[in-house]
A and B are shown apart, each in its own frame.
Chain A
Amino acid sequence: MSLHETAAVTGVGETVYQRGATRPSTALQLEAALTAIADAGLTPREIDGIIPIGITGAPAEELATNLGVEELRFSALTPMGGASSIAAIQCAAAAIAAGLCNHVLIAAGRNVSAGAKAGTRIHQMPQFHLITEFELPLGSVAPAQLYAPMARRHMELYGTTSAQLGEIATTIRAHALLNDNAVMKKPMTLADHQASRMIADPFRLLDCSLETDGGAAFVISGAGPARDMRQPRVLVSGIAEGHPDSPSAITQRPDMTRLGIVRAAPRAFGMAGVTPADIQVAEIYDCFTWVVLCQLEDMGFCAKGEGGAFVEGGRLRLGGKLPVNTHGGLLSQAHMLGLNHVVELVRQLRGQGGRAQVQGAELGLCTGFGDMGDGAMAIMRRG
């Protein structure tokens, strides 16, 4: 069997995104969950599957207890960092198709202002233990430092420039300015990007995503029931996860300029029966600018090494051929582990994209990237 259009995203919800939130991550996670469940036209009692995302929120049992879930029939974890939320859609769709449950809640909450920063959090994750032992003592502490060598090698091999990375940053900032729930409110020019201080060369400050607080959630239901639910139906047409060679350490990876999504993309496009040329809007995981460029190559929007030229000329802007991160992404809306990318894609395909609406958007994709190269992608269609 195939998961092609067996499941739909039936509800989405977000809290206000901000810095310095005063409420704990679990409260933010629950608020987003309640919003998503109401958006789907369900009551919390009807949720019978839960996949919590990230290491900062509450586990499934605690969410079920708070929500008063009548019977939790399915719970799982998809520990793939920023690829977790889309891997969770695959997991939920498989569970629903197998008849294990009906409505799966996928939810995350983060209050990182009050807690550990990224450079500490990743070393709390068991999949990073080799990095913690062999690379942290050298001074490779945070994701920016771990991923910089991938971007550097890409630049040396293919001539990719910092200005091309800046094109991604400024495009996504321009989109954030259309979103009232984006943390970043000021315009960014290419000159601003080029003048921003170096963090982990080749990454400048404005190549790096935000550290923000908030909650986001969505509900996955069967495609059949979704037809009669509250919102326009958004079907999961193609979905896949992919892992790079040497998933535990970028240092040892045979080709560090290819991410796990290179494995997922042919399966997801194949399942959906579409090609990159058919995609009208793309919400691409953007922990760093270069990660967007590399995923575009790995998904087949352009050849390996051509990503720099591909992102130039306004192609990724609203009104361009492939609008990317219409919500402002992790770079300029908020770091919500990519759940905000799923929420935004669903809104776009429902026609609820507000000032950033891509006119006539019926088919789009969202991606996740995490844990040093894991990838996942979902192709969705209104229908």
Chain B
Amino acid sequence: MAQNQSARPLPHASDLTRPYWEGAAQGKLLIQQCGQCGKLRHYPRYICDNCHSFETVWKESSGRGRVHSWMVAHHAYHPAFAGELPYTLVTVELEEGVRALGRYAVPTGEGLRLDLPVRLRLETVAEGVALPLFEPRED
């Protein structure tokens, strides 16, 4: 946890995940792809669960997906988020077949339903750190 208890918790990239965060900072959602069999996986892992290869490439997501589920936060479990209430997190099934969690553009979650078409944008929250944000799109 951060030393400053009220500071927003930020991701600590590892060698495994650094390409993801570097991509995010450039506005791209990168998904790991097995360099051997081509299977996509998210969140990042060391090996492919299909063929067990260590070879990895990164593929840019189209950012298009559909809502799988959501949560509307009305209580802050960390002081950094108290000023943002309410806020909504959406679980999105991306076209590529993996899921991403992100903020929803409508903080109250109004209008959400299963399979709602959404589009990704990466929102800069701190210097060099961008997090997924989803907004509704035309089908």
| A-B CB pair tally, cutoff 8 Å | 104
- B12 CB contact (under 8 Å) in A120, A133, A200: A133
Question: Taking the complex as formed, is B89 at the interface, i.e. its CB lies under 8 A from any CB of chain A?
Answer: yes
Q: Say whether A198 contacts B42, CB under 8 Å.
A: no
**Residue of B with least CB distance to A197:** B74
Question: Taking the complex as formed, is B81 at the interface, i.e. its CB lies under 8 A from any CB of chain A?
Answer: yes
Q: Say whether A153 contacts B114, CB under 8 Å.
A: yes
Question: Taking the complex as formed, is B17 at the interface, i.e. its CB lies under 8 A from any CB of chain A?
Answer: yes
Selecting from A11-19, A92-100, A137-145, the interface stretch reads: A137-145
CB contact list, B122-139 vs A, under 8 A:
125, 129, 131-132
Sample of 18 A–B contacts (CB below 8 Å): A117-B77, A130-B43, A132-B9, A133-B13, A134-B43, A134-B101, A137-B10, A137-B125, A138-B101, A138-B103, A139-B84, A140-B71, A140-B89, A141-B78, A153-B68, A153-B114, A200-B73, A249-B43
Q: Number of residues in A with C-beta < 8 Å to the partner?
A: 36
Q: Say whether B69 contacts A199, CB under 8 Å.
A: no
Q: Say whether A200 contacts B74, CB under 8 Å.
A: yes
Query: What 9 A-B pairs are tightest by C-beta distance, nearest first?
Result: A119-B77, A148-B71, A201-B72, A149-B69, A142-B77, A141-B77, A153-B69, A198-B74, A199-B75
Smallest beta-carbon distance A118→chain B, Å: 8
How far apart sit A201 and B8, CA to CA, in the bound complex (Å)?
22
How far apart sit A249 and B42, CA to CA, in the bound complex (Å)?
10
CB contact list, A71-127 vs B, under 8 A:
117-120, 123
Smallest beta-carbon distance B123→chain A, Å: 10
CB contact list, B93-139 vs A, under 8 A:
98-103, 109, 113-114, 125, 129, 131-132
**Residue of A with least CB distance to B87:** A139
Question: Taking the complex as formed, is A38 at the interface, i.e. its CB lies under 8 A from any CB of chain B?
Answer: no
Query: Given A138-B101, A139-B84, A201–B71 Cβ distance below 8 Å?
Result: yes
Q: Which residues of A contact B (CB under 8 A)?
A: 117-120, 123, 130, 132-142, 144-145, 148-150, 152-153, 156-157, 197-201, 248-249, 251-252, 256
Q: Say whether B89 contacts A138, CB under 8 Å.
A: yes
**Residue of A with least CB distance to B84:** A139
Task: Collect the chain B residues with CB atoms within 8 Å of residue A118's CB.
Answer: 77
Q: Say whether B91 contacts A251, CB under 8 Å.
A: yes
Smallest beta-carbon distance B81→chain A, Å: 5
How far apart sit A132 and B9, CA to CA, in the bound complex (Å)?
9
How far apart sit A130 and B11, CA to CA, in the bound complex (Å)?
10
Query: Given A141-B77, A200-B71, A133–B17 Cβ distance below 8 Å?
Result: yes
Question: Taking the complex as formed, is B70 at the interface, i.e. its CB lies under 8 A from any CB of chain A?
Answer: yes
